[in-house]
Amino acid sequence: MKAINKASPHPQLTMPSDADAMRAYVGEGIPEHLLEHPGIDDSVDHAPPRRQVLTNAEKRLALRNALRYFPTRLHSQLSVEFAKELNEYGRIWMMRYRPTQYEMKAYHIDAYPAKCKQAAAIMLMIHNNLDSAVAQFPHELITYGGNGAVFQNWAQYRLVMKYLSEMEDDQTLVIYSGHPLGLFPSHSDAPRVVVTNGMVIPNYSSQDDYDRFNALGVSQYGQMTAGSYMYIGPQGIVHGTTITVLNAARMHAGATDSLSGITFVTSGLGGMSGAQAKAAVIAGAASIISEVNPHAAHKRHQQGWLSVIADDVDDAIDRMEAAKASGDAISIGHIGNIVDLLERMVERGTSVDLLSDQTSLHNPWQGGYYPVTMDFEAGKEMMSSNPAEFKAAVQESLRRHAAAVNSLTESGTYFWDYGNAFLLEAGRAGADVMSDDGLSFRYPSYVEDIMGPLCFDFGFGPFRWVCTSCDPLDLKRSDAIATRVLKEMAANSSRDIQQQMLDNIRWIEQAGANEMVVGSQARILYANAAGRKRIAKEFNDAINSGLISAPIVLGRDHHDVSGTDSPYRETANIHDGSMFTADMAVQNFVGDSFRGATWVSLHNGGGVGWGEVINGGFGMVLDGSADSERKLLSMLDWDVNNGITRRAWARNDGAISAIKRAMIENPKIKVTLPNQAEDKLIDSFFRGED
């Protein structure tokens, strides 16, 4: 590696005032002495109490499991405390061990007391996932989605940070659902960390199984980027949401490159769903987003992601209709239940162009969706005190929700399922959401109808990067590099991917002005394999020259071309019968691990729920070296083309076109392509429906 240019045009960065405290304490692990309890901090939002699912015998096991992290001489006092947490919250968070000596946020990579830069980068990413400005329930170690956890408890956090502080370049940390199994010898090209979340025997993968295993402290729901340390705040989903809304309007509302004069109604302002407000304004729509949790709505408003909070349902509708008439872009927050909003729109005969939903219905009985018949606080109370009645109330609300959607679509509204399990849970509740065949849903998922054929089949997915300097100047320069690369590629791109290129150029050019950053200095854009490789190589060169002052972490959402097998979302547009298989995601995880990833993860659950999806991701540290270039070219190529090839084998035309281009660009890629059978031939053997 060349020496970094000492005349770098970056100003000297001053470490945050608490960086020294972080450095002193982050690697201490679990102290031998009893820490002072920090209390419950009401300045952050907290996870609702979980329903009580354990028998007394299982509670004894959960307590025994928790105490094994601590010296036996502390068990007498800690057992009282942990039993109280289990009885009150349904989980043992170990709140006494939440660090308070330093602020939980991403620090400059050089502030971390690590023996290798790769470990320091992972520590930075973990801290970003738990930043109170980023995480949904930071003190319960939940980043987004109501139960998307980084760790199951604070003992796990402390041990992981200790191991990362001690890790050398020839060791790998193994993590089982947040629990650090330990450091093991490996080699410099191996991943520094291998994470699995929620990997259970298939017959034990129901929602009830998750609740029990998580309460016992033996498994967790890592969502997608929560348990893999790759969450970058709502920005991580804003771009995909913008593309989805924009293309839905192009397909169904006559839009071109702006949604001016077009209305969009949805729900959810949480960790991921909060992106909807920002995306709607970027796209130019007049939008309303319902949210039952006042704290979440006010948080998005304070961050500038939500334009205004309405006084009530009618005020929200009036504001939307005024913005539609004037062509103004606005995101209107409605604090209340989406069912109330939709039913009032039906009563008033309100015209809605686009309609969706992003409530956390992957987690329907633990706070992901609240009944319309009660307010937020009453719902939280019933959830833990009377879970059976809460479930019945949720299902009744889902039936009303679906009925309102049906009424609006009959008047011309276009509705799509956002892959959050809305149609799945509504169907289970007996709502009228099934097609005439009784097997499929009457509405498409956004991947089936929009993102799959337009983006994933061509290899375009949520590529992201984080500047470990925490310096906005590095992010600005990385944006400029990405913009230049995309413009050069767009000038020579084929017609079938021209629009994707132009949408991404517009996105990255406006990203700074749209003030996307929450937490770390990070960016996301949808790029194909060639784009990801070129952008990453240019970043690596810029680090080598000193134009960018510190390493960059590459990653992606698991919601990508190859990373996720999910029949109701990411693989919803695969129609060869393989949509329920998970070979692609598992092969991606394995393939990334030996092609250069710094860390890899594989999860059960994410987006649509535990037992409904297998997904994986990676992180890769670019340090400006030739080694980094070798790894990025190998791994990024596989990380995308694996999924394109699978989609091509499913006879998806866009994917067939994309993988043929990839084989021309890289002659070492040789894949099995499908031969198309004529419908007439197939029908001559099997006619009609069963």
pLDDT tens sequence across 463-475: 999 999 999 999 9
Q: What is the mean pLDDT of residues 416-441?
A: 86
433 in helix, strand or coil? coil
What is the C-alpha separation between 28 and 49, in angstroms, rounded? 30
Higher pLDDT, 679 or 559: 679
Digit-coded pLDDT (tens) for 502-522: 988 988 888 888 788 888 999
Above pLDDT 90, what percent of the chain? 76
What whole-number distance in Å separates Cα of residue 243 and Cα of residue 246?
A: 5
d(CA 420, CA 572): 13
Task: Judge whether 298 and 276 are in contact, CB under 8 Å.
Answer: no
- Would you state the torsion angle of the CA atoms of residues 364, 249, 308, 512, taken in this order, to the nearest 10 degrees? 100
**pLDDT, average across residues 668-682:** 96
Non-local CB neighbours of 491 within 8 Å, separated by 6+ positions: none
Q: How far apart are CA 562 and CA 108, in angstroms?
A: 31
Amino acid residing at 325:
A
pLDDT at residue 384, rounded to an integer: 84
Q: Which residue has the tokens 């094994």?
A: 68
Q: Which residues contact 150 (CB under 8 A, 6 or more apart)?
A: 126, 129, 130, 141, 142, 143, 157, 178, 222, 226, 227, 229
Q: Which two tokens stand for residue 675?
A: 């031969």
10 Å Cβ neighbour count for 254?
A: 10
Spell out the long-range contacts of 423-426 with Cβ–Cβ below 8 A and sequence spacing 24 or more.
Answer: 423/568, 424/361, 424/568, 424/608, 424/609, 424/612, 425/361, 425/364, 425/369, 425/395, 425/398, 426/398, 426/399, 426/401, 426/402
Q: What is the DSSP string of 73-94?
A: GGHHHHHHHHHHHHHHHSS---
How many whole angstroms separate alpha carbon 486 and alpha carbon 493? 10
How is residue 255 written in tokens?
A: 């839009």
Q: pLDDT tens across 555-612, in order?
A: 998 889 999 999 888 898 999 999 999 999 999 999 999 999 999 999 998 878 889 9
Residue among 563, 648, 647 nearest 607 (CA):
563
| pLDDT value for 690 | 60
Q: What is the structure's pLDDT at 275?
A: 80
Residue 373 clears pLDDT 80, i.e. is over it: yes
Residue type at 23 in one-letter notation: R
Which amino acid belongs to residue 507? W
CB atoms within 10 A of CB 336: 22
Domain extents for the chain?
A: 19-144+151-216, 235-439, 453-679
Q: What is the pLDDT of residue 367?
A: 86
Read off the tokens for 608. 């649509």
- pLDDT mean over 360-368: 85
pLDDT classification of 272: cutoffs 50, 70, 90: low
**How far is it, in rounded angstroms, from Cα 548 to Cα 190?**
26
Does pTM top 0.85 for this prediction? yes
Q: Dump pLDDT digits (tens) for 95-142.
A: 999 999 999 999 999 999 999 999 999 999 999 999 999 999 999 999
Q: How far apart are CA 66 and CA 289, in angstroms?
A: 40
| Residue-wise DSSP of 190-259 | S-SEEEEES---GGG-SHHHHHHHHHHTS----TTTTTTT---STHHHHHHHHHHHHHHHHHHS--SS--
CATH number of 235-439: 3.40.50.10730
Element (H, E) at 526: strand 522-527
Looking at the predicted structure, is the pLDDT value of residue 205 above 60? Answer: yes
Tell me what pLDDT residue 390 has.
95
Beta bridge partners of 196: 176, 602
- The answer to whether residues 299 and 286 touch, using CB atoms and an 8 Å cutoff, is no
Examine the pLDDT at 273 and tell me if it is beyond 70: no
Cα–Cα distance for residue pair 72/85, rounded to 1 Å: 19
Spatial strand order in the sheet of 263-267: 308-309, 330-335, 286-291, 263-267, 354-355, 414-415
- Positions of E strands within 131-178: 142-144, 148-149, 171-176
Going by pLDDT thresholds of 50, 70 and 90, the confidence category of residue 689 is low
**Contact between 635 and 592 (Cβ < 8 Å):** yes
How confident is the model over 164-175, as pLDDT tens digits? 999 999 999 999
Residue 682 identity: I
The single residue listed with the structure tokens 């991701």 is 617
Task: State percent of the chain over pLDDT 70.
Answer: 97
DSSP state of 336: S
* pLDDT for the residue 317: 98
**Sign of the CA dihedral running 253, 410, 430, 438:** negative
- Count, in order, helices (H) and strands (E) of the chain: 23, 17
Would you state the pLDDT for residue 164? 98
Location of structure tokens 């998922």:
445
pLDDT of res. 138: 96
Type of residue numbered 114: A
- In this predicted structure, which of 29-43, 223-237, 284-298 has the lowest mean pLDDT? 223-237
CATH architecture for the domain at 453-679: 3-Layer(aba) Sandwich (3.40)
Q: Are 79 and 69 in contact (CB under 8 A)?
A: no
Question: Which pLDDT score, from 0 to 100, does residue 418 have?
Answer: 81
Strands 522-527 vs 179-185: parallel, antiparallel or unpaired = unpaired
**Is pLDDT of 683 > 70?**
yes
- Give, as one character, the DSSP assignment of residue 466: E
**pLDDT above 50 for 12:** no
- pLDDT averaged over every residue in the chain: 92
173: β partners: 183, 193
Residue 378: which residues within 8 A CB-CB, separation 6 or more? none
Residue 75 contacts by C-beta under 8 Å, 6 or more apart in sequence? Answer: 67
Lowest mean pLDDT among 187-201, 206-220, 265-279, 445-459: 265-279
